[in-house]
Structure 1
Amino acid sequence: MKEEEIIEKLQKLGLTKYESLAYITLLKLGPSKATDITKESGIPHTRVYDVLSSLHRKGFVDIMHGTPRLYKPVNPEVVLEKIKEDLIADIEELKKAFLKLYRSVHGEDLPEIWTIHGFDNTLERAEYIIRTAKYEVLINTPFEFLSLLKEEIKKRKDVVFVIISNFEEIPEWLKRDNIILARSGGAPWLMASWIIGDIDYALFFGALPRDRRKEKFYSFWAKSAKLIQNYMHWFYTIYLDNSTIIKPVNYDKLKKPLQLVNIRTLITLLKQTSLPREIEVIGKLVENKDTITLRGKVIEFEYTPLIASVVVDDGNKKWKVGGLGSYFEDVEGEKFILLD
């Protein structure tokens, strides 16, 4: 990273340009006199003492008293970890304050969908979904956009990915045990983009912008379990079911227990292995909405555009289990934990 970029990022963290220059200089020189810092950094001699005192108050610099007085940079890992902790704490406090302000006017319900302006903001949201998902990530997007998500995808070996794109060949970074790849059916409308993380977040947008139009680009961001369960259904029935699987998951090498929240993701994995499979289902009885934890073996499944369900034999009864919103089945499954 260039020094100008480092200075820009430090300024975002609350340092001035001179403070950023002084800290970078100290990292290069080690414990130094103020005059040495001035010579190396170009900070005016009349300003350097105020700058170093400010860095000391902010926790970036230690002062070594003596003759001459020396200034020592604090370990950057310590400094940045403290900033990270403070920033996260501030964000959580702001979140509570903003929600309180919003609810004081609009009531308890938060909006289910927002418009995101700008291509860069859309990319950041897509990366955030991948970064924060706990169980599964569903992606349908042109390879041009998928490539921009490469580094975030490479970091996540602990979630299941189902990825649909207009692949010509499979790149090495997608040849992993936890990734299912499908080549889109080819119709232009199949290349509208969806990025879905668990039932927590979803992002949707249409055609990708050309460079000169990136600032005018917009996408839609959703945070609603009821809405996202419909998005998941469309992802599978409109996109995956009209695509060709070109790389199945390596089920035997996936770490167990393996948790999922979407019944169609569960069945997609079961199609790529053999039955029966030991499973634990956490959900509600459809008849009376009582909470139930069901443990047994998946012995069969049903998968159509309208129905997605599995049959779980617990040794006493064969239960028909569906996903969120089930009303034909015995159990509405909220979490599916594959045990073997």
Structure 2
Amino acid sequence: MDDSELTDVLEDAGLSPYQAEAYVTLLGLGTASATDIADSCDVPDPRIYDVLRDLETKGYIETFQQDSLTARARNPDVVLDDLRSRSSKYLDAAETIEERWNQPEISDHEVSIVKRFETVVSRSRELIAEAEHQIQVGVNPEQFYAVREELMAAHDRGVNIKLSICTSPDEELPPLDDIEGTCTEARNRDIPAPFFVLVDRTWTCFAPHHDSVNEYGVLVKDRTHTYVFHWFFLTCLWEIWDTLYTERTPETPTTYVDLRHAVRDIEPLLNEGATITAVVDGYVTETNESVSVEGTITGVDYTGSSMGRQDPVPLAQLAGRVSATLVTDDETYDIGGWGAVIEEIEATEITVVDVRYD
């Protein structure tokens, strides 16, 4: 149903032509000043204030004063109940309104901007439920509980989950019993941060933190763009913050979903003369076919190595190209990380299964 048809049905349901047009326009704008609403439809400027107040009286919208009179669509339960009591075309209109308000359709574009935080959370829960390999999450305590059930199910499927819980001074962290079983590792950033979910290196869901003036969300389906968000997560939500919980132990095997973190741990062992046996799961960069190979890691290389040896290697030194050499019984492979092009394999998981000193 397009805007014209929806406006006609709302007129049939009892709205004036100006009221129907203003309401449909506001559904598209989300939150807007009276002037902006008038500019976006055919309601005359002198009439827009009366039209908005009439819509507020009917329960369709709410208004508030900022620099000027501003309006936003209310939760459409009242509208939906009225329309669903009418003929089938009213039911069609109600479903259209509900869809626009609650879950805007995700287009085929690489980046979608949505107007409401609820949409971002809803899409995040769906993506977490579909995750196969890895998830990175940044949430406040309330948001953690909103996605906790899906995180637990993903963890049970063997998905590697990094969870950053971001708190303001007046917020308490969830109990460790609630965190256990939802992630592979959890850290606490004691500064408020945006809502953030990154799934399988492909999808990112992002929204400003709850104190932000603007309410919007960004849904990204693109490996190049999500790589930028991945670095936001590493530098802002993960790297410097204290660990709350981890499943990692000193014993092997240890699984990494980021080659950069693997290199940090592997390089000192190689320098000590260790023989490291590992299984690398990922994709052949030329064909995008999945692959799993086991062999010995004989070396690592990264652009920042020329800056001098430090333990642990600072993340900044790993911001460029990073690779590892894996020698099997039959072949030698160059292993790259996220977005590898030059290397033969893009690793999605590196599992160290044995470390020994001859």
TM-score by length of 1: 0.52
1:30-57 Cα deviation digits (max 9, x unpaired): xxxxxxxxxxxxxxxxxxxxxxxxxxxx
Please state if 1:199 is matched with 2:201: yes
Secondary structure of 2:326's partner?
A: strand
Q: 1:177 to 1:333 in 2, by over 3 A?
A: same
Could you tell me how far 1:204 is from its partner in structure 2?
Answer: 0.8
Q: 1:230 to 1:121 in 2, by over 3 A?
A: same
Secondary structure of 2:239's partner?
A: helix
Could you tell me how far 1:197 is from its partner in structure 2?
Answer: 0.6
Q: Distance in 2 between matches of 1:269 and 1:165?
A: 25
Partner of residue 229, structure 2: 231
Q: Distance in 1 between matches of 2:163 and 2:298?
A: 27
Partner of residue 297, structure 1: 296
Please state if 1:276 is matched with 2:276: yes
Partner of residue 184, structure 2: 179
Q: Distance in 1 between matches of 2:196 and 2:264?
A: 18
1:49-68 Cα deviation digits (max 9, x unpaired): xxxxxxxxxxxxxxxxxxxx
Matches within 5 A, 1:1-340: 110-156=108-154, 157=156, 158-166=158-166, 169=173, 170-176=175-181, 178-184=183-189, 186-188=190-192, 191-208=193-210, 217-250=215-248, 260=257, 262-264=258-260, 276-284=276-284, 289=286, 293=291, 294-298=293-297, 304-315=318-329, 319-326=333-340, 330-336=343-349, 338=351, 340=353
Secondary structure of 1:114's partner?
A: strand
Question: Structure 2: which amino acid aligns with 1:297?
Answer: T
Could you tell me how far 1:132 is from its partner in structure 2?
Answer: 0.8
Q: Distance in 1 between matches of 2:259 and 2:276?
A: 16
Question: Structure 1: which amino acid aligns with 2:112?
Answer: W
Q: 1:323 to 1:166 in 2, by over 3 A?
A: same
Aligned residues: 223
Secondary structure of 1:122's partner?
A: helix
Q: CA RMSD in A?
A: 4.2
Q: 1:252 to 1:228 in 2, by over 3 A?
A: same
Could you tell me how far 1:317 is from its partner in structure 2?
Answer: 6.3
Q: Distance in 1 between matches of 2:199 and 2:275?
A: 27
Contact 1:129 1:202 in 2 (8 A): no
Q: Distance in 1 between matches of 2:321 and 2:245?
A: 25
Could you tell me how far 1:135 is from its partner in structure 2?
Answer: 0.8
Structure 1, unaligned stretches of length 5 or more?
Answer: 1-11, 18-97, 103-109
Q: 1:204 to 1:275 in 2, by over 3 A?
A: farther
Question: Structure 2: which amino acid aligns with 1:335?
Answer: T
Contact 2:208 2:215 in 1 (8 A): no
Partner of residue 35, structure 2: none
1:297-336 Cα deviation digits (max 9, x unpaired): 3456566233443332325666442223335x63341533
TM-score by length of 2: 0.50
Q: Distance in 1 between matches of 2:113 and 2:231?
A: 22
Q: 1:196 to 1:339 in 2, by over 3 A?
A: same
Q: Distance in 1 between matches of 2:332 and 2:246?
A: 29
Question: Structure 2: which amino acid aligns with 1:263?
Answer: L
Contact 1:181 1:246 in 2 (8 A): yes
Could you tell me how far 1:178 is from its partner in structure 2?
Answer: 4.9
Contact 2:152 2:182 in 1 (8 A): no
Question: Structure 2: which amino acid aligns with 1:138?
Answer: Q
Contact 1:178 1:250 in 2 (8 A): no
Q: Which one has a larger percent helix, Structure 1 or Structure 2? A: 1
Could you tell me how far 1:224 is from its partner in structure 2?
Answer: 1.2
Question: Structure 1: which amino acid aligns with 2:178?
Answer: W
Structure 2, unaligned stretches of length 5 or more?
Answer: 1-79, 86-104, 303-314, 354-358
Could you tell me how far 1:248 is from its partner in structure 2?
Answer: 2.6
